[in-house]
Each structure stands twice: as structure tokens, then as C-alpha cells.
Amino acid sequence: MKVGVVTFPGSLDDADARRAVRHAGHEAVALWHGDHDLKGVDAILLPGGFSYGDYLRCGAIARFAPVMTEVVDAAKGGMPVLGICNGFQILCESHLLPGALIRNDHRKFGCLDQKLVIESNRTAWTNQYEVGQEITIVLKNGEGSFVADEMTLDMLEAEGQVVARYVGNPNGSQRAIAGISNAAGNVVGLMPHPEHAIEDLVGPGTDGLGFFTSLGALTV
């Protein structure tokens, strides 16, 4: 599949994301925040970083970047979209996913190998995992605490839209939620970084690769 990775001013993990996409056997296409052009891709990845310097709120300015018009339309049309870290924040600010991400409860930037449990494999990005499977990937953020009102949290749980949960709770996220999906399962937001865990040499293992090999493996 052709997977577009959007670069915003302040994106950090766009190169790693493109590399992970290629590693999983897909073609990586660099997309630019200022273009109203998805270059014919089949899926979109919003990478981690500090788009627009995290000014105002994380992801708040990126949401209005020209390319996001097309991303939002494509997401609503069913195209697989994965937002990692800052990308997750952008998806929440764009209202493609419910809730918001606020500063870690311990107020420190966390950078660690984090254990997660996959809670749903009925998404475009997690279908290669088993439900209940434990994976270890990198978590690195200052504002990764997932919050939503109780009704939204209950809805996410009831509809199977909690995609991954932390083992332990490294940042005060409500119900230890690390990642969620939209109702259709094509849009996924994840705070930790699977793209940093695709090779044994330079990460905590290869547990993150499944997010990228899931693409195209199942129609959701």
C-alpha cells in the first residue's frame, strides 16, 4: 500500500515512520502540511513531534494545516489513518477521535520502554495482534494523559474502541488508555511509538511492527 506520512513544522518522527512503513513492505510517501494533496495514498500516518511548537495546545494549530482538510475527508471516507503521539493529539483536536491529551500527571517528560496490552484488533492498524497480547514499545511524551468525560469513556469501552491500554499507568491517562479508534476502526490514535520498535538493533524489540503490517491485511 502507499502510505502517506505528513510532515508538519516541528514533526520529529516522520522519517522513522516512513522507515517503519517501508520495513513492513509498504511504499512510504512524504506528504507536506502546506499542500492540499494526498498524492494518491491508501493510508495516512500523522507522526510524533511538536507540530507548530505545541503552541496554544498540542495539535491545535496543526489541525488547521491545509493538508488536514484532505486528511479529515479521507478519514471520514474510511481511509486508514494512524496518529502517533502528536498525531494522536492532532486527531483529537480535529474531532476525528474523542477526548483530549493533557500534561502528564507527574509533570515530567517520560521516555521509556512501555508495556501495553492490545485491547482491540478490529482496527486497520492492529489486526495482526491478538486481543490481550502484551507488547513493549517506546513511550515519550510530556502531554500524554488521555482524558474524556465518563460518558465518552464508557462508550469507548462498550464499543470496543479502546485499542491499547498501559500496563501500569505512566502518565495519569484515564482508565490507563494508551490508544483508541473511531467507531469504524479506520482511525487510530496511539500515544506510544510503534515506529521506534521495529528492529532489535535500535529499539526495545519488534513489537511495534504489527501496526504497519496490519495495513491492508484486513478490510475493516
Partner 1 sequence: MARVVVDVMPKPEILDPQGKAVLGALPRLGFVGVADVRQGKRFELEIDGELTDERLAEVNEMAEKLLSNPVIEDFKVSVVA
Q: Does 105 bind partner 1 (CB under 8 A)?
A: yes
> Is residue 182 close enough to count as binding partner 1 by CB under 8 A?
no
Q: Does position 57 bind partner 1 by CB under 8 A?
A: yes
In the residue annotation, 193 being an active-site residue is answered as: yes
Please report whether residue 157 would count as binding partner 1 according to CB under 8 A.
Answer: no
Contact between 64 and partner 1 by CB under 8 A: the answer reads yes
Q: How far apart are CA 68 and CA 65, in angstroms?
A: 5
Which of 116, 129, 208, 207 is closest to 166 using CA atoms? 116
Give the whole-angstrom CA distance, residue 206 versus residue 155: 32
Is 143 designated active site? no
The catalytic position among 85, 92, 93, 196 is 85
C-alpha 40 chain-centroid distance: 21
In degrees rounded to 5, what are phi and psi of residue 169?
A: -135, 100
CB 25 within 8 A of CB 213: yes
Q: Does the footprint of partner 1 cover residue 100 (CB under 8 A)?
A: yes
Examine the residue annotation and report whether 85 is marked as an active-site residue of this protein. Answer: yes
Show which residues are catalytic.
85, 193, 195
Catalog residues that contact partner 1 under the rule CB under 8 A. 56-57, 60, 64, 92-93, 98-100, 102-107, 145, 147-149, 172
